[in-house]
Amino acid sequence: MRSMYLSEITSAEVSKIAENYRTTCSCVIKTVEPRSWTTHEDLKAIVSKVQALEVSQEILPWEEENIPEEIVDCKPTPG
């Protein structure tokens, strides 16, 4: 039922809504909770909190993990 409405939503409408959730730098904010419990105001409050943490530099920059090129030392014989 929900998918039938997707064709009616324009990219301009998505962009307009996304402006409400803009942060000062590139980040991803993920909430995991039932949609019926999350309000527009809740999401805006989360974005505001993240922005405040960014300004106060309490969010550390992403550090790449040292990931080895090979995961195993001895490769199995193909076949």
Q: Give residue-wise pLDDT tens across range 31-46.
A: 676 666 777 788 888 8
* Domain contains 13: no
* Domain contains 66: no
Report the number of distinct structural domains present in the chain.
Answer: 1
The DSSP call for residue 56 is: T
* Domain contains 4: no
* Domain contains 5: no
User: Tokens 């999350």 identify what position?
Assistant: 38
pTM to 2 decimals?
Answer: 0.42
Structural domain including 32 reads 22-59
Asked whether residue 5 carries a pLDDT value surpassing 80, the answer given is no
User: Tokens 């490769």 identify what position?
Assistant: 75
